[in-house]
A and B are shown apart, each in its own frame.
Chain A
């Protein structure tokens, strides 16, 4: 079963607007990560937020984590056409011996010029 569930499944906005994607998960985690996947390509790591962190920034990306609600959000500010991609959250669950990430189904983001 999927640990992370992204919302919405698809998002279409105009260039320059901000895009917000959400991720909910079920079990306690060590960290949560966001990845981007361009069409036909592999996933690329964007940002990692640890369970004891609440907010993290990287360029135009802002990630928040609320462990009490078991949820995270990814905000992309001032979107560009090149941001068109699928975005996945991945959780690192606190399960002894897990040694693996669990990926959600992704949010497909389209930036319209």
Chain B
């Protein structure tokens, strides 16, 4: 099993450009998450999904959109990139939701995005 994969691994954008980050998992997990990681800030939740066709806002959703058309994929979109969105983006998935005692999350390798 590949686990959680993310594409691309690196990307440089100019301000105002758009892009989509793709996350795929092969563990048949129901729950998927997008985080951003910035120095000294830890991980912050952007959006998450509790199942195919459903999405919800996390802690820092502004400037991002997501879609979960297939259970195994979770897409993160930036419609008009800004320098403040320079960050490392991580996707994660879990079998059980928070509130369940076995809800550890499995993370992808990350996407390093720079917005100039």
**Which A residues have a C-beta under 8 Å from some C-beta of B?**
2, 30-31, 33, 35, 40-45, 48, 50, 88, 90, 92-94, 98-106
Question: When the two chains form their complex, are residues A100 and B45 in contact, meaning their CB atoms are under 8 A apart?
Answer: yes
Dominant SS at the A interface? strand
Q: Mark B43-72, 1 if CB is under 8 A from A, else 0.
A: 111001010000010100000000000000
Across-interface contacts of A101 in B (CB, < 8 A): 98, 103, 105
Knowing A2-B42, A41-B110, the reply to whether A99 touches B48 (Cβ < 8 A) is yes
Cα distance, A101 to B33, chains bound together (Å): 10
B interface bracket (residues with beta carbon within 8 Å of A) = 20 to 34
Knowing A100-B98, A103-B42, A104-B42, the reply to whether A42 touches B103 (Cβ < 8 A) is no
A46 to chain B, nearest CB (A): 9
Partner among A33, A40, A94 whose Cβ is within 8 Å of the Cβ of B99: A94
Interface status of B74 (Cβ within 8 A of chain A): no
Partner among A33, A50, A98, A103 whose Cβ is within 8 Å of the Cβ of B43: A103
Across-interface contacts of B35 in A (CB, < 8 A): 103
Question: When the two chains form their complex, are residues A99 and B99 in contact, meaning their CB atoms are under 8 A apart?
Answer: yes
11 A-B pairs besides A30-B98, A103-B43 with CB distance below 8 A are: A2-B42, A41-B110, A42-B107, A43-B43, A98-B98, A99-B31, A99-B48, A99-B56, A101-B103, A104-B42, A105-B40
Across-interface contacts of A88 in B (CB, < 8 A): 42-43
Question: When the two chains form their complex, are residues B58 and A31 in contact, meaning their CB atoms are under 8 A apart?
Answer: no
Partner among B56, B103, B109 whose Cβ is within 8 Å of the Cβ of A92: B103
Interface status of B97 (Cβ within 8 A of chain A): yes
Of chain A, the residue at the smallest CB distance from B103 is: A92
